[in-house]
Each structure stands twice: as structure tokens, then as C-alpha cells.
Amino acid sequence: MRPRSIGFAAGATVSLLLLAGCGQQAQVQPGSAGPPTAQPPPAETSQQLAERWADGYCGAVAGIVDTLARMPTVDPSTPQTATRSASSLLGSVAGGLDRAVANLGGLDPSPVPGGDEARRTAVETFGGIRDRANAAKTKLDRAQPGSADSRQAIAQAGAVLDEVGRINLLAGFDGSPELRAASRTAPRCHQLTSDSATPSLGGGPPA
């Protein structure tokens, strides 16, 4: 009986040692490779930063082009329809300019010289035309169709549309070599400049 008892004790000891070994962490030998460390992404170059900012700028002002493409035309068939359609057109123009001003205001500070100045100039230009469009619309809405005031307001509306047609959407980039270069590679700037070297609104909307 004793040998059997000794064998049981020895087997139990071996089992305990095995269980104890399972709970221990593996020892890392000196010089062995540890887990790979994640490498940080490479920092953007100044050219990439300028391109990203210019792309956002172009996206902000491109809405003006979309607005002009969708806005109504003036229906001169009667004084009443001329007044209503001109008022609707002015409201569309003012809304598009207002959205562009808001979008430009949401841009981060420019990473290159000249960008913030270009944005300020654009906001002042677009905001001024927007205010004149709203003033002409208010005057037109208050005037009696066919009256002298109505005709004067319609003429004022035409002057506003002429201003819109002369807008150079990227005029502020002329003073920044970095932004000029970025505008040639930024996707949304390329859309504005693909048809013309000067990204203007052409001859304005149809009258």
C-alpha cells in the first residue's frame, strides 16, 4: 500500500507544479524582439497644407457658381411677372453669396501667407454685393409693378448682377505663390479653373 500512496503524492506534486507553471508569464530573454511599435503618420508638408486649405476655400466659393446655374431668369412679359421674377432672382443671388460668406468664415486659419487676407477680401466683396442685392430686392418688393420706383429697382438689380458677373473667385490667391500653386492641384479649385484661366462668373446670369 505504501508504494501506491507515495506514487499518488508524487503525481499530485507534479500536477501542482504544472498548474503553477501555467500561471506564470513567459520570460522574455534579453535581446529578444518585443511587439512592434506603431509608427506615427508622416507630418504634412507645407505644400500639402496649402493644397488642403485652398481646396476648402474653393469649395466655399463654388456654391456661388451653383447658385447662378440654378437661379430663375427675369420674365418681362408683364410688369407684375418682371417684378416677381426679378425679386426671386435677387433673393437667390443674395442667398448664394450669404452661404459663401458663411462657408469662408468656417475655414481654419491659412497655413501659408496671404490666405487669411484673401479670405477677408472675399468676405468683404461677397458681403457687399449680397447687401446690395438684398437692398434692391426690398425696394423692388415695395414698389408698385410698372412704376418708376419699380423700374429703378430693376435697373439696380441689373447693376448687382453685373457685379456678380465680374467676380474673380480666386482673385485673392494672386498675392500668394503658395496658394497659386495649390490652386492648380486642389480638386475643387481645378473645377473652378478648368474652363478658364480666370475663375470668374463670366458674363453673369441671363437677363
Residue-by-residue pLDDT tens, the chain, 207 positions: 333 332 333 343 334 333 344 445 545 455 555 555 665 556 668 889 999 999 999 999 998 888 888 888 888 888 899 889 889 999 999 999 999 999 999 999 999 999 999 999 999 999 999 999 999 999 999 999 889 988 888 888 889 989 988 899 998 898 899 999 999 999 999 888 764 444 444 433 333
Q: What is the pLDDT of residue 183?
A: 93
Number of domains the chain is built from: 1
Q: What is the pLDDT of residue 198?
A: 43
Dig out the grid coordinates for 132 from the structure: 446690395
Cα–Cα distance, 95 to 88 (Å, whole number): 11
Helix (H, G, I), strand (E, B) or coil at 26: coil
Q: Decide if 74 is inside a domain.
A: yes
Number of other CB atoms surrounding residue 8 within 10 Å: 10
Within a domain: 19: no
Q: Which residues of 115-141 are buried (b: 16+ CB within 10 A; e: fewer)?
A: beebbeebbebbeebbebbbebbebbe
- The answer to whether residues 73 and 86 touch, using CB atoms and an 8 Å cutoff, is no
Tell me the C-alpha distance between 138 and 21, whole Å.
87
Indicate whether 176 belongs to any domain: yes
> What is the pLDDT at residue 92?
92
Q: What is the pLDDT of residue 65?
A: 87
Q: What is the pLDDT of residue 136?
A: 93
Indicate whether 98 belongs to any domain. Answer: yes
* Residue 201 within any structural domain of the chain: no
Q: Is residue 202 part of a domain?
A: no
Could you tell me if residue 146 is inside a domain?
yes
Length of the chain as a residue count = 207
Cα separation, 55 vs 110, whole angstroms: 12
pLDDT on residue 122: 95
Q: Which of 199, 173, 183, 164 is nearest to 67 (CA)?
A: 164
Calpha distance 146→89 (Å, rounded) = 18
pLDDT at 188: 93
Q: How many beta carbons lie within 10 A of that of residue 89, not counting itself?
A: 25
pLDDT at position 138 is: 95
- For residue 174, being part of any structural domain is answered with yes
What residue numbers bound the domain in which 85 lies? 49-193
